[in-house]
Structures are given as structure tokens and as C-alpha cells.
Amino acid sequence: MKGPLYKIGELANLSGVSSKTIRFYSDIGALPPARTTEAGYRLYDDADRGRLATIRALREIGLDLPTIIDLLGDKVPVAETLAVQLESIELTLRTARRQRAVLKAAIDRGEAAALAYLDRAGAIAKFGAIERQEFLAARMERVFAGVEADEEWKAQFWRGAVLDLPEELSEAQFTAWLELAELLSDESFLRRLNAIGRESWNRPRHSAEQKRAFGEMNAFYAEVAEAIRSGHMPGDERGRQLLETYLRMQAQALGREAHDPALPAAVLAMIERNTEPRAARYWELIGIIKGWPASPIAEAHGWLVQGLRERADKEGGGGVGGVGS
């Protein structure tokens, strides 16, 4: 046998692994000695030093000793074994990130509400994609109760608001899911959305007309968003053109004259009745979970409201609160 031989103590000094651990590895067959003397001393060579370093590295990534013994004995493929371990570590990391998100959300709720939140969020945090979808669907059904929405439009809404949730969530997506679930557990929010839906859809108009109006409004919001990106303000020439278009669309929806001086204030009154900031947050959270780009609709809507308010003040509409629709 060529090269130096080391007793357990010497190998311990060279490797930084304790004598007790080396003896244990030797006893279970993970690190058999290169030679044993007649007096019973176990001796190890430089190849054993390398094997010990490998065992140490594999232990540091979390592999158990039976697996290490099989791996070093060529009983299991290396790449496959390491891939399994990687998957296990990624699962542990995902679990830890979710636990961190739940804890941070609980802390944000303050001393009095933290424990109650943890109790609510515990089950929700464990939902898979199908369970998350079922959770959203049950609440959206309540939002649409008694709302005479066009079925084709509702199916499109369902695809955006409920279906096709990702199975695996990043930390940001999981944090958004926790907030979304909390939002949809708020009974006042569900009732408010239902009331807004009833006013929007249950007017005496044909469903095809309502659907067309929604489609035209979405296209118009995209046009407004482009104007905003180009630096236009509600009071400049382009802004006034867009505002006139918006008022004509709203006049048709409300059954009013487009040139009625009180129309801007009336539209503002309608918007205030049907504005729910939490609904905008709902779509922001859905966008985060689904990986959507930021929607321009909220910005476009705010830009139009600013223009309407300036127009109503200029034309002396009497203020939003004093004008009905």
C-alpha cells in the first residue's frame, strides 16, 4: 500500500471531522478503513480522506447516511439522487417562505388581531391551485347572485378572476394570495360588489347591448391610457376630446342628453356610488398571482374622473352630492 496511513485521531486533525464521527462512519460502513492493524487500530489513506470530504459535503446538503452509503457504493445514480435532494430542499424553502409570509401578515395586523389571523390563514395557506380556485369561485358566485350579467361576459370574467391559477406560487404571489383570501372573506366587500353589479347590469337594457357597452368602454380606456403615456392632461385639446367621448358613452348608458350641462356631475355621482377601492386591489392581487402586466384601466379611470370633476366645477354642476342620476 503506497502513501501515508492515518489513525483516526490523525485523520480527524487533517479533516476537521471529530474522531467520534469518523469512528461512527466507519462502524456503519460509510467510511471503511483502508487497513486494520493486528492491534485493532483502523488506518485510513488519502483516498479515505477524499471520501470523508465527500461524505461531509453530502451531509451538508441534507442527504441521510444510508443514501450516502448507497451513493458512494454506486448502488444509486448520482444525478438522480442529487435531483431528488434538490427537490426536497426546494420544497423546504417554499414552505419556509410561506410560513414567513403568514407570519409577516399576522404581525402587520397588530397585537390584538395577530392570533386570530393566524387561525384563519393557517388552512388557506395550505391550499393548492384547485382549492384556491374553488375558494374564489364560491365567493364570486355570491358576488353575482341576482346580477343579470351576460353569460358570455361572465365566462370571460370567470377566466380572468377565478380560473387558471398557477400551481406553484412565488413568495410575492403567495403573499398576494393571502391578502386576496382575506379580502374575499370580508362580507361587506362581497355585498358591495354585488350591489355595484346589480346597478351595472340590471338596468332595462338588452344583455347584448350591455356586453357591447362594456367592450367599447374597455377599448376606450386603452385609448385614454395611450393619451396618458403621451403626456396629455384632461384639460388639453386631446383630453377634452376624450372626455367628450366618455360623456357621450355615459349619456347613452344613463338615457340622458350628451350636452346636458349637469351630465358631468351626474356621471360623477354614479361613479362615486359604484366606486369600490377594494375592487381595484382585488384585480391588482389577481394580476400578481397570474403574472399579468400592470393594467392601465385604473390610471385611465382616475384621469377621466379628474377631467369630469374639473368640467363639473367649471360648468357649475352644483357638486356631486347634489345631483342625481
Task: Tell me the C-alpha distance between 96 and 104, whole Å.
Answer: 12
Q: Please give the grid coordinates belonging to residue 221.
A: 380606456
Give residue 308's pLDDT band: very low, low, confident or very high (50, 70, 90). Answer: confident
Question: What mean pLDDT do residues 142-157 have?
Answer: 83
With 80 as the cut, is the pLDDT of residue 107 above it? Answer: yes
Q: What is the pLDDT of residue 318?
A: 44
Task: Tell me the C-alpha distance between 13 and 34, whole Å.
Answer: 18
Q: Please give the grid coordinates belonging to residue 59.
A: 451531509
- Model confidence pLDDT, tens digit, residues 194-245: 988 887 776 655 556 656 766 788 788 888 989 999 999 998 999 999 999 9
DSSP 16: S
pTM over 0.85: no
Taking residue 61's Cβ as centre, other Cβ atoms within 10 Å add up to: 11
Q: In the CATH scheme, what is the code of domain 8-75?
A: 1.10.1660.10
Task: Tell me the C-alpha distance between 145 and 28, whole Å.
Answer: 67
Question: What mean pLDDT do residues 58-68 have?
Answer: 90
- Model confidence pLDDT, tens digit, residues 39-56: 899 999 999 999 999 999
Task: Tell me the C-alpha distance between 310 and 304, whole Å.
Answer: 10
- Model confidence pLDDT, tens digit, residues 257-269: 878 888 888 888 8
- How far, in Å, are 24, 58, 78, 118 from residue 65 at the CA level? 11, 9, 14, 37
Range from 41-45, 123-127, 173-177 that averages highest in pLDDT: 41-45
With 50 as the cut, is the pLDDT of residue 127 above it? Answer: yes
| Domain ranges in the chain with CATH number 1.10.1660.10 | 8-75
Task: Tell me the C-alpha distance between 216 and 250, whole Å.
Answer: 11
Handedness of CA 314, 226, 279, 204 (dihedral sign): positive
